[in-house]
Chains A and B, each alone.
Chain A
Amino acid sequence: MNIFDRMMSLDRRWVFLSLAIVCVVTYLWDFSVPITISNEVKSIYDRFDSLQEGDMIYMSVDYDPNALAELHPTTYALAEMCFRKKVKIIFGTLSNLGQGMVDQVIRDIADSVSHDATYNGVFYKGREIVNGVDYVFLGYKPYPAMVIQAMGLDFRVPFPTDFYGTILDSIPIMKGTKNFDQCKMVIDMAAGNVAEMWITYGHGNYGVPLALAVTGVMGADMYPYLGSGQIFGLAAGLLGSAQIEKLCNNPGRAMDGMRIQLFAHILIIFFIVMGNVGFLATRNRNKMR
């Protein structure tokens, strides 16, 4: 077996080991990489930026801990932006482990918002966010398609009470809020087919303006919906989250993760090129024989 044969048929464990080393080294070595903003992510930020105090949005946290690295930074950045601008948020989840995600987001953002901060040149005084006044968390129900359709009629149909057991009608933020008609937009952070259900049932049936933040693998699938106008913005994967953080001027784990992703991609490209060099050299040698 000569060098070209080895290049073509490298044991996958060498690939795993190299990738692990690159990820660990770039994680420990702290440096930043420039991040380019795409139009579809800018659309999401611009829409959030145009929200006024007192407006209401629906934030659907439809991912499990496995997609935490890619989608949590988007949730944090946008939720904090809303709370700073005094925009009200209705949190919901269509993933049964999403409740823990929402709970974690609310706790951490409440802590962050309690401190003064300046984002994009605007000073925000620290304040306390109050459950029922600044946000409400509806909780989780199974069968996402049905829940979305029911919420389009009335939030109270699938969720007579919020996650903590309080009757929705007694919650200040829900007075006068019946369904998606009172929400300026819906943003869905999803790691599964729930995103398409929001497009079909949320936007399709009720016409609510919809933006998606999805995992990298799903990103390419969502472009048809962006092109047809069924969604107004799309943030895909860790890159999408990093772009959101940059636009919100709120650097976090996504922007940190970009340096790891960058070098991981370079390593994968190196292996692909190496495999092709071996393949072409071996093919030429066989042809000559």
Chain B
Amino acid sequence: MKLKIVVVLTMLFMGVWAMASAQESLETIAAPDSIQAAPLPEPAKELSAKDAPDDHGHAIDVTWAKSPDDGERLKNVIGYIVYRAANPDGPFEARSGLLLGTTSYTDAGALNEGENDFMPDYQDYYYRVRAMTQDSTVFADSDIFGPVQSYGQWYDKGKTAVLLLVAGFLFLTIFFISKARGGAELYVRRLAGIEAVDEAIGRATEMGKPILYVLGLGTAADIATIASYTILGRVAKKVAEYQTGLIVPCYDPIVMTVAQETVRTAYLDAGRPDAFNQDMVYFVTNQQFAYVAGVNGVMLRERPATNLYMGKFYAESLILAETGVVAGSIQISGTDEISQIPFFVVACDYTLIGEELYAASAYLGKEPLLLGSLKAQDYAKAGVIILAVIGFISLMLGYHDFVDFFHVTG
């Protein structure tokens, strides 16, 4: 009896176990249906494309809205690929790699025919954006957008702020020049360095020693060098009148030719064309420290009474100025290189700082044209200060548009 119960219970147990196993395998067999058909994600929406603004053409900006499945766990869209074709039926080629975390793309190509990836302007393009999942075989394409054409712009709107400021500055310059021409007295504060030039030239004449004029290491296109020519012209005229020697060693060949012309004309104006010697103004070298070595040699051999450093200077400024101190020369300097101003201040008797060098031409001649432009410069600076204060206040109040307007792109 007991044996029968055990057998029955065992068979029952085995039956239950078998049924359970069958259930599992049924579920296992059922499972492949859920893997086979992966649900497709929703495509990107609101696809739009237009010519990239404010550029040289050959570029189109493509934008779209995220797929509703972007970031969803089950049908997770991880990124997008932009496709382009020349007609709506295709073939579409991929223009981007997998774009992550963005809903815009600039499709740009080469400018010239024959180049790799040439993208001609004024040609119809059609775009499509593909929403990609982790599985590269599971994706969804958006609607096609097009036609759209690329073309270059003739005006960069991002530079409007610059245009307005330049126009404003031009207006101020013309206004003050007219005012100066009309006889108005325009006040310019005293520039000690420029006033000392006459005294320094007189000193050189009394001592019978030459004057050394260094135009700096700038090119003829540098504003500091252009300002220096004006001062050189005045100095050369005085030197010609007083019959003092003048030495002008040059760093740049073009600067040398212009300086020769400036000095020649100054001697002509002073009525002493015969006294001009072209070798007064000569080219040394266009190597920075070789030039310094050459000028230092001149200082220590010729022992000029006055050294004038006007223009662009770099690391050699202190070497020049200290050697001038050793040679016992009176030294007047002027540069717009901010890093070198401290060295000149320390070693020279007078220093023109930054824009004082540019103002020297107006200060020396007191001509209405030059004085007017100097005044315009000062008012423009005041304008910049006002704009900076307005920008600061607007940022504090949370308005970014004013500052963004002055953010120049391109």
Interface, chain A (partner B; CB < 8 A): 64, 66-67, 96-97, 143, 175-176, 178, 191-193, 205, 207, 215, 217-218, 220-221
Do B110 and A178 touch across chains, with their CB atoms under 8 A apart?
yes
Kindly state the separation between the CA atoms of A191 and B316 in the bound complex, as whole angstroms. 11
Main secondary structure of the interface of B (DSSP, over half): loop
A220 touches B339 (CB 8 A): yes
Q: Find the residue from A97, A191, A215, A218 having the highest chain B CB count within 10 A.
A: A218
Q: In the bound complex, how far is the Cα of B116 from the Cα of A215, in angstroms?
A: 40
Q: How far is A193 from B339 in the complex, measured between Cα atoms in Å?
A: 11
- Contact (Cβ within 8 A) B315 A191: yes
A132 → B minimal CB distance (Å)? 18
B312 on the interface (CB 8 Å rule)?
yes
Counting chain B residues whose Cβ lies within 8 A of the other chain, the interface size class is: 10 to 19
Q: Do A217 and B339 contact each other (CB < 8 Å), given the known contacts A176-B116, A193-B312, A193-B314? A: yes
25 A-B residue pairings within 8 Å (CB atoms): A64-B287, A64-B288, A64-B289, A66-B288, A66-B289, A67-B315, A96-B286, A96-B287, A143-B219, A176-B116, A178-B115, A191-B314, A191-B315, A192-B288, A192-B314, A193-B312, A193-B337, A207-B409, A207-B410, A215-B315, A217-B315, A217-B339, A218-B339, A221-B338, A221-B339
Which residues of the other chain, A, contact B314 by a CB distance below 8 angstroms? 191-193
Other CB < 8 Å A-B pairs besides A215-B315, A218-B339, 5 of them? A96-B286, A143-B219, A192-B288, A207-B409, A221-B338
Q: Enumerate chain B interface residues (CB-CB to A < 8 A).
A: 110, 115-116, 219, 286-289, 312, 314-315, 337-339, 409-410
User: Which A residues touch B339, using CB under 8 A?
Assistant: 217-218, 220-221
> What is the number of contacts between chain A and chain B, taking CB atoms within 8 Å?
32
A96 to chain B, nearest CB (A): 7
Q: How far is the CB of A91 from chain B (nearest CB, A)?
A: 21
Looking at the assembled complex, report how far the CB atom of B187 sits from the nearest CB atom of chain A, in whole angstroms: 31
Tell me, rounded to whole Å, the shortest Cβ–Cβ distance linking A66 to chain B. 5
Question: Roughly how many angstroms separate A97 CA and B288 CA in the complex, as a whole number?
Answer: 10
What is the CB-to-nearest-CB distance from A214 to chain B, in angstroms, rounded to a whole number? 10
- In the bound complex, what is the Cα–Cα distance between A275 and B259 (angstroms)? 42
- A69 CB → nearest B CB, Å: 12
Residue of B nearest to A204 (CB): B408
